[in-house]
Amino acid sequence: MGEFELIRHYFAAAPCAQAGEGVALGIGDDCALLDIPAGEQLAVSTDSLVAGVHFPEAADPFLLGQRALAVSASDLAAMGATPIGFTLALTLPAARADWLQAFARGLNQMAQSCGLRLIGGDTTRGPLSLTLTVFGRLPRGQALTRSGARVGDLLCVGGELGDAAGALPLVLGQLQAEPALAEALLTRYWSPQPQLALGQALRGRATAALDISDGLLADCGHIAAASGVALQIEQARLPLSSALKTLHGLDSARLCALSGGDDYRLAFTLPPGELSALQAAGWPLVVVGQVVAGQGVQLLNEQGQCMALPVAGYQHFEGSA
Ligand code: ADP
Ligand code: MG
């Protein structure tokens, strides 16, 4: 199968690749054309996933398709953007029909659940890697940036943390667990659900937000630095699933939440007056700390004393010049 036939068969023909709201022209021309309503801004984010670095070479292609798009869509959620579409740059060692079929199905499923249309891309031969660029829209000036946290705000997260990190030894085949337990954690690793609706609900309410990809500590550090404040996390308030605690024990479960990464839940700062209305509306938010004067991130024990911070989240090029 040639390049053009491959694109047409697996991508252009997918339900998620059909033109629709916000997409005036999709796959097939030199550029896609997006319609941005007057008074709105375009939100854009790119992520690359490389085999052997971000996922095992032999990863299930359906799950990989789902996860690749979820990870990118999560950045739109973190800005409070309404999804429009995405491009896919795919580098493949070979055009294997079964692999492409399953990958395109996973991608399509996540695209449809996120309301994202596939609007273009590129297809090349080489070591397996994926680069996805997502596009969303926002009323001008309403994006949830990292820089608006204020002293006195509450620090909140969008649900249980650490499950994906707790699943990693299962993904890598380093640990076995009974099926029900493994399933609960692996689902959070392979099919994280980008919190798009929550992000949009936080527009005009949260003062700062991001999606947690490198562990709560590292990511809260980004908000603290951008906002010129300190973020306090109360360890006892960390929301942890029972599956995570059962498989790893409380101390390791907390470590997964604090430094593990791959959660793709939102972390955000909220003026205290905004909390009750959001809770009453049923949004899955958990208060884990607060914003105080100072800098950096502080971890507090049950007595409210500062604890030593565990090692930081994963960083590419760590230690290199
Ligand atoms: P060009 O040479 O103009 O860059 P290509 O041959 O790379 O065009 O792609 C042809 C069309 O198919 C373009 O609209 C491009 O966006 C789209 N496309 C290529 N690869 C993919 C892919 N993996 N997924 C979705 N669309 C793709
Ligand atoms: Mg091209």
Least confident of 51-55, 235-239, 265-269, 316-320: 316-320
Q: How many angstroms separate the alpha carbon of residue 58 from the centre of ligand 1?
A: 25
- pLDDT grade for 259, boundaries at 50, 70 and 90: very high
Q: Which ligand is nearest to the CA of 90?
A: 1
pLDDT above 90 for 316? no
- pLDDT the model gives residue 321: 37
Q: What is the pLDDT of residue 176?
A: 92
DSSP line for 277-295 = HHHHTT---EEEEEEESSS
CA of 218 to the centre of ligand 2 (A): 36
Instruction: Indicate the SS3 state at residue 237.
Output: helix
Answer whether residue 31 shows pLDDT above 50. yes
52 is in an annotated binding site: no
Mean pLDDT within 13-38: 94
The answer to the question of whether 222 is labelled as a binding residue is no
Query: Do 3-139 and 154-307 share a fold?
Result: no
Q: What is the mean pLDDT of residues 70-90?
A: 98
Nearest-angstrom CA–CA distance, 157 and 146: 14
The amino acid occupying position 239 is P
According to CATH, the superfamily of the domain at 3-139 is PurM-like, N-terminal domain (3.30.1330.10)
Give the separation between CA 139 and CA 156, rounded to whole angstroms.
23
Q: Which ligand approaches the C-alpha of residue 122 most closely?
A: 1
Domain boundaries, the chain: 3-139, 154-307
Residue 169 pLDDT more than 80? yes
**Spatial distance between the Cα atoms of 43 and 72, rounded to a whole number of angstroms:** 12
Pick the CATH number of 154-307 from 3.90.650.10, 3.30.56.10, 3.30.470.10, 3.30.70.330: 3.90.650.10
Mean pLDDT, range 84-93, rounded to an integer: 97
Using a pLDDT cut of 70, give the percent of the chain over it: 97
Mean pLDDT for 256-280 is: 96
Q: pLDDT band at 261, cuts 50/70/90?
A: confident
Amino acid at 215: G
Mean pLDDT of the chain: 94
Average pLDDT over residues 230-237: 98
Residue with the two structure tokens 């398709």: 65
The pLDDT confidence band at residue 314, using thresholds 50, 70 and 90, is: low
